[in-house]
Amino acid sequence: MKSIIDYVIIKQHTHFNPQDVREYRGAECGSDCYLVISKIYLPYRKMRNKGESENEQQTTLEAPRYKVRSLQQDSIRFLYKMRVANKIATIEEGTPEQMYEELKTDLQEAAYEASGQEEQYQRKITPEWWNTDIEELVTEKKAAYNKWLMTREVGHREEYIHIRRKVNKVINKLTF
C-alpha cells in the first residue's frame, strides 16, 4: 500500500505560477518521503521610486567580484588591512548616506587594489550545431510541454510528443 505524502504547497491567490512539479526518487533520508522539486514562474515587476516616470529606466550595476581566495595568503591579507585602514582614516564627516557611500567605495577600492577582480567568463557554452532554427523548435517544444502539463489532455500530450520527436530528429541529423 502506498500513500501520497509529498506535496508542494503554495497560496491559492498568489502570483507564483507552478510550471512543473516532480518527485525525485533516490534521495534517501530514512523515511518514505521523496525529494520534490517545483519550477515556479515568478513574474517580474520593476519597483519604481515615487518621482520616477515609466519612461525613465533605472540601470543597476552588478557588484564587482573580487578574488577572495587570495586573502588566504598572509601578505595579501596584510596589504588589504593596510589599504582599508588608510582609506577609512580619510573619510570625512557628513550625512550618514554620504559616509556610507564613501565607506563602500573605499572598501571596494581596497579590495581591488589588494586582490584584484575575478575575470568574467561565459558560463554557457553553446555547441556549434545550435542555431536559431533549433532554438525556435526547442521553445515550441517547451511551450507544448507546459501546455500539456497544465491541461493533461491526451491531444496536447500527442502534440508535445510529435514536436519532441521532430526536435530530436533535427538535432540527431546535425550532430552525426
Spatial separation of the C-alpha atoms in residues 170 and 98, rounded to whole Å: 59
Give tens-digit pLDDT for 98-152.
888 898 898 888 888 888 887 766 566 777 888 888 899 999 999 999 999 888 8
Tell me, what's the pLDDT at 57? 47
Ramachandran assignment for 140, one of left (phi > 0), alpha (psi -120 to 50 degrees), beta (any other): alpha
The answer to whether the pTM exceeds 0.85 is no
Spatial separation of the C-alpha atoms in residues 103 and 80, rounded to whole Å: 15
User: Do the bridges between strand 35-41 and strand 17-24 make them parallel or antiparallel, or are there none, so unpaired?
Assistant: antiparallel
Tell me, what's the pLDDT at 61? 54
Tell me, what's the pLDDT at 145? 92
